[in-house]
Amino acid sequence: MVRVAVLVSGGGTNLQALIDAQNRGEIVGGEISAVIASKPGVFALERAAKANIPAFVIARKDFANSREMTLAYVSKLKELNIDLVVLAGFMTILTEELVQAYPNAVMNVHPALIPSFCGKGYYGLHVHEKALEYGVKLSGATCHFVNEECDGGPIIMQKAVEVKPDDTPETLQLRIMEQAEWKILPKSVSLFCEGRLSVKDRTVFIKE
């Protein structure tokens, strides 16, 4: 069994999508073994408790800098024997030590079609504000492996979602979650756990 840790910072709807997929038997060869939150009191922690998943808080404010915080994450993940780290609405930037400890084994879901609307400052609702400002007709979500570059790692899956003329950042966010994020994230995690993903240069190959 591939041991999966899900890192969260807020509401945790993507965590919920993973828990629901697991309950339907759709995370093949893997199990959600831990949830780690970057803030105490976030709703994602309640979702973990309800699903009987061990949950921990490692908060940025308890460390002098991002590197020290990242080292605390790595040491907790290793202590828990985690094989795959999933950033699911995780809003704190971790430094390169995480990727070095887990090469091509850290996955992120981003609420846009990378390389559009991504990188530093593009997180949560801001992503959808920028997409609406630009006037794109399609946006969507991307699951990718994390590398040293913010939102720059090899892409595992993407799904496009229509932008409607009367969208607000909130309505667009919800449509992208429902139609894209909550589908491609559990699917990407399962593909990893099934051992069906391989990476060559920037390209992820999916074995049939």
Residues making contact with ligand GAR (CB under 6 A): 8, 10-14, 88-89, 109-111, 123-124, 127, 177, 181
User: Could you tell me whether strands 197-200 and 2-8 are parallel, antiparallel, or unpaired per DSSP bridges?
Assistant: unpaired
Cβ density class 117-154: b for 16+ within 10 Å, e for less: bbeeebbeeebbbbbbeeebeebbbbbbbbbeebbbbb
User: Could you tell me whether strands 55-57 and 30-37 are parallel, antiparallel, or unpaired per DSSP bridges?
Assistant: parallel
- Structure tokens that stand for 115 in this block: 């390389």
CB-wise, 142 or 208, nearer to ligand GAR?
Answer: 142
Closest-CB residue for ligand GAR? 89
CB-wise, 110 or 175, nearer to ligand GAR?
Answer: 110
Least distance between ligand GAR and beta carbon 208 (Å): 28
CB-wise, 45 or 105, nearer to ligand GAR?
Answer: 45
The rounded radius of gyration (Å) of the Cα atoms in the chain is: 16
Least distance between ligand GAR and beta carbon 207 (Å): 26
> CB 76: neighbour CB atoms within 10 A?
15
Among the listed residues 110, 126, 128, 144, the single catalytic one is: 110
Least distance between ligand GAR and beta carbon 103 (Å): 20
Please say if 128 is a catalytic residue: no
- Among all residues, which ones are annotated catalytic? 110
